[in-house]
A and B are shown apart, each in its own frame.
Chain A
Amino acid sequence: MKYMIMMFGGLGASLENRSPEWITNMQTTMMRMDGELRESGEVVDSQHLMAPSQADTVRFQDGAPTATDGPFAEIKESLAGYWIIEGSRERAIEIAAQVVAVTEYPMEVRRIMDQSAQE
């Protein structure tokens, strides 16, 4: 089964008032986990997205698609990055918990749907 583990926020929301030591520790942990998950073969894909302020959002307004600068959600709730892992729900939650322990910021775990028909 595949699960997406999602991170949220812009640089301000999750990092404001954090000391340089805290930030360095957080960055090191994230990089280490990236590496471990790749080596264990659990990761199918993982990406970091650019800051939400760099997003464009296309909405349907006055009968036509219109693009504007900025993210869809509030910055602190915008997608910041994701891992897609092959595994169980418990394992996905376990991985997310390891990250949240360090970042102290919420992550969401959601199963990815299968393309094939199921019994």
Chain B
Amino acid sequence: MSSEPAIEDLLRDLAPQVLGALVRRHGQFDACEDAVQEALFAATVQWPVEGIPGGPRSWLLTVATRALVDHWRTDSARRRRETSAALDPTDWSAVNVHDMAPGEEDTLALLFLCCHPALSAPSQLALTLRAVGGLTTAQIAAAFLVPEATMAQRIGRAKQRIRDTGTRFVLPPPTERVARLGVVLHVLYLVFNEGYTASSGPDLHRADLTTEAIRLTRLLHRLLPGEGEVTGLLALMLLTDARRTARTEPDGSLVPLAEQRRDQWDTTAIAEGQALLTRTLGAGPIGQYQIQAAIAAVHDEASAAEQTDWPQILALYDVLVQVAPGPMVTLSRAVALAMVHGPIAGLALLGTLDADDRLAHTHRLEAVRAHLLEQSGDPQAARESYLRAARMTASLPEQRYLTRRAALLLSALPSATDPTES
């Protein structure tokens, strides 16, 4: 890969535009994607030596088209050829995408294509990062901690799947648009989450995922500035990522929100997130990302943990459980409930989650319970819960943190512990 960051950034920006233009002209998403990869590779080899051409986008398009035609000369490619997907201009106008530059329309269609419901979530993520994000297969593989060959297969199969659905290169019809946009947002949210939860630790590849998620969401926000949930998601990412530095100790272990050094929070990102939120709240029906962003904003407003406006956070969770109900939301609401009405109230709400199968394999229910038991003055039960949570988590930094919290309660126990395995 090019050692020149300026060229690499330029190629990453142009890649989806070139791919979009090619697919719009010729259909055959998978063959076009291969051709674009070849053109990008040629650029990384030639541009550092010969300089960036005057019209880099045209250069890439020309080289990619040539590669595509070469590919068609083989018999197998000719047999697989489909009718080209011509773009119907009326589709665009129905989706309110006036004033978009041609490249931007293609990129938006590409984003929807990569998040096609026929693909599994891991495939959607990988294909989006590749085709719209312009990351190499190696970079994506490193980010998701799988071997490169595995990721190459995943992307190859995803491309074939797209081809097999026979999807035309147009935006989904207005009746499907809201649902499909929801899928796109979910994919971007997963990319962000993958990078954020893994960002405690020495592997910088994973922190790059949050940067990439923000970059793609910014792009989507530029394309669809009127969509409240897109704005909400961007705000949520900025307000959450603002805490990244404070969230990790040098040795990779986690610092919980209540203990973070808030002077390490990124005030620029927080300001931008708050501004986005102010513009979008109340401008239309509210969605889950806007509410989550609002919750993040309340946290980020507090100069110290003790200043946190928990009643406001609880009120926002009361809305979130109606807009996007689910066990994880209830779990987070229980934390807020405990901060406002005391740990017993929070523990009672947790009790309603014990029968929920969806939480059976996550350590989080146990971890929250442990924390509330500790606050309610039951160190024995809290310690047992912390150890149970420590055993259930797949994250090593998380396990270390929970083990330490369990150990801290030893001195609070009434007598010597019974050395049984629990």
Contact = CB atoms under 8 A, between A and B. Distances in A.
Contact of B422 (A12, A19, A76): A12
B410 A19 contact: yes
A57 interface: no
Nearest to B391: A51
A15 B403 contact: yes
Contacts of B417: 16-17
Contacts of B392: 51, 54
Given A10-B421, A48-B396, A20 B404 contact: yes
Contacts of B411: 19
Interface in A6-57: 10-13, 15-20, 22-24, 27-28, 31, 35, 48, 50-51, 53-54
A11 B390 contact: yes
Contacts of B282: none
The interface residues of chain A, by DSSP majority, are classed as helix
B387 A19 contact: no
Given A16-B417, A51-B392, A11 B387 contact: yes
Given A23-B404, A23-B407, A27-B400, A17 B419 contact: yes
A28 B251 contact: yes
Contacts of B393: 50
A22 B407 CA distance: 9
Contacts of A51: 390-392
B410 A31 contact: no
Interface string B283-322: 0000000000000000000000000000000000000000
A77 to B, nearest CB: 12
**Looking at B393, B404, B411, B421, which has the most chain A CB atoms within 10 Å of its CB?**
B421
Nearest to B388: A53
B252 interface: yes
Contacts of B42: none
Contact of B391 (A10, A19, A31): A10
Contacts of A11: 387, 390-391, 399, 403
Interface string A62-92: 0000000000000110000000000000000
B391 to A, nearest CB: 4
Categorize the interface residue count of chain B.
20 to 34
Interface in B375-414: 387, 390-394, 396, 399-400, 403-404, 407-408, 410-411
B279 to A, nearest CB: 44
B421 A17 contact: no
Contact of A24 (B387, B396, B404, B420): B404
A23 B403 contact: yes
A75 to B, nearest CB: 5
B421 A75 contact: yes
A69 to B, nearest CB: 12
A17 B251 contact: no
A75 B403 CA distance: 17
Nearest to B401: A27
Contacts of A13: 421
21 contacts: A11-B390, A11-B403, A12-B422, A15-B407, A16-B417, A17-B410, A17-B416, A20-B407, A22-B407, A23-B403, A23-B407, A27-B400, A27-B403, A28-B251, A31-B251, A50-B391, A50-B394, A51-B390, A51-B392, A54-B391, A54-B392
Those 9 A-B pairs whose CB atoms lie nearest each other, nearest first: A51-B391, A20-B407, A12-B421, A23-B407, A20-B408, A27-B400, A16-B419, A53-B391, A75-B421
Given A27-B400, A54-B392, 13 more contacts: A11-B399, A12-B419, A19-B410, A20-B410, A23-B407, A27-B403, A27-B404, A31-B252, A35-B202, A50-B394, A51-B390, A51-B391, A51-B392
